[in-house]
Structure 1
Amino acid sequence: MSATTDRPPLRIVPFRAPTARLALKTVSTSRGPLDGAWWPRSRDLADELSALADVLDPLFGRITRVAVNPTYWPVIPSRVPVNGHGVRIGWFTTELDPHKILLMSHTTGSWNLLVVPPETSAPAAARLMAAASDSSGPPTTASDASGLPMTASALMAAELALHAGSMADTDQDSEEAWTEGDDASSYRAATARPGGLITAK
């Protein structure tokens, strides 16, 4: 007697090394406006999300939804297949900082990441990622004059103000104005600490 099955044969998928450039705050730190930073290689959201999920799914739990501001993403699909499941994509023009991506998981809730523009130079990206993932806590964390942690647009404006010559074609009309003073010293202090880049280029 022989048994038959109508299951398809196993498909062998070659190992793909993680390619997302990502820096995250340590789990024990208090939550703020940002949980870290992501430096995508292009503005192709569908393609870039696969690499990001490869790294974040094991850390955060399966990512089920993503929200972005369409300002810097030319095409926003409604759903993207990632790691064998579909991720819903939503977009918000006024409710979400244009330099931020919101990732949601049923397991760990939501995470906010600064999106470093793909064309940013490596030194500028390293500074931005260090500031967004700074886990030292107050009073030395990157913060504005009020002592609150800086938003994604404020970090981009700070980088542009302090190192405009080292950035590539990043946008210059951030939603939030940034003035040099206490903010500049906080940003410099945060970016001087070693970054937490957790994946290879």
Structure 2
Amino acid sequence: MTTTVAPTLSARLSLTPKTTLAGLLDGAWWPRSRDLAAEIPPLADALGGRFGRITRITVNPTRWPVVPHKVAVTGHTVHVGWFTEQDPDKMILLSYAVGRCDLLVIPPDTEPAAAARLMTAAALPGSILAAGALMSDEAATGRRMRDARSSMNAWETDGGAGRPPPRQPVVGARMIPMPGNPRR
């Protein structure tokens, strides 16, 4: 009898380009679940080339049901800590080589279009938007988009998808002749 091991999925990650413009975030990460023990290894592996060996990670426990103290990653162990004072939408990763990497954490159940917008916004060089601000802006954008879609659906179900109403003349308006264009 042989056992098969499921392949590890790569981390869904968007990083700021290397530049001198420092921002509040170094990018965004969109995990597939709320299981830190399963999600940290591919994240640490993906960041290794740019930030070196990730040795410590801090999170806010309000977003993670279980925060393990240690997670085995390829060739080493990552120590995980939690702070309730830390922005709940941000993860801080530390390495000996580069220092610190701050990532926006996009909830796993986020719609792909919204996740793409957040990943792009978090990776803008020199951005001064904090993780919580990006998430609240995206929530507001999502509400506006849902409202617009429901208004459009209501318009179409009420017969509004047909021809637009005819233009009505404005009462009291008069034509003003333009110079060089005599009125006939």
Matched ranges for 1:1-201 at <5 A:
19-94=10-85, 96-135=86-125, 137=126, 141=127, 149-164=128-143
Distance 2:113 2:32 in 1: 15
Measure, in 1, the Cα distance between the counterparts of 2:110 and 2:96.
32
Amino acid at match of 1:113: L
The alignment partner of 1:80 has SS state of strand
The offset of 1:30, in angstroms, is 2.2
Q: Report how many aligned residue pairs link the two structures.
A: 141
CA distance in 2, matches of 1:19, 1:162: 28
In the aligned structure 2, how far is the partner of 1:54 from the partner of 1:131? 23
Conserved 8 A contact 2:11-2:43: yes
Alignment match, 1:5: none
Amino acid at match of 2:91: I
Provide the secondary structure at the position in 1 that maps to 2:78: strand
Q: Root-mean-square deviation (CA), in Å?
A: 1.8
Structure with higher Rg: it is 2
Q: Is the 8 A contact 1:124 1:166 kept in 2?
A: no
- Verify the 8 A CA contact 1:64 1:86 in the aligned structure 2: yes
Give unmatched runs, 5+ long, in structure 2. Answer: 147-184
CA contact (8 A) 1:18 1:54 kept: no
Task: Kindly state the Cα deviation for residue 162 of structure 1 after the two structures are TM-superposed.
Answer: 1.4
User: How far 1:164 sits from its partner (Å)?
Assistant: 2.4
| TM-aligned CA distance change 1:39 to 1:92, over 3 Å | same
Q: 2-side partners of 1:98 and 1:77: how far apart? A: 17
**Identical pairs, percent:** 52
Provide the rounded CA distance (Å) in 1 between the counterparts of 2:43 and 2:20.
22
The TM-score, its normalising length taken from structure 1, stands at: 0.66
Aligned to 1:110, the other structure's residue is in SS state strand
Structure 1: how far apart are the matches of 2:68 and 2:112? Answer: 28
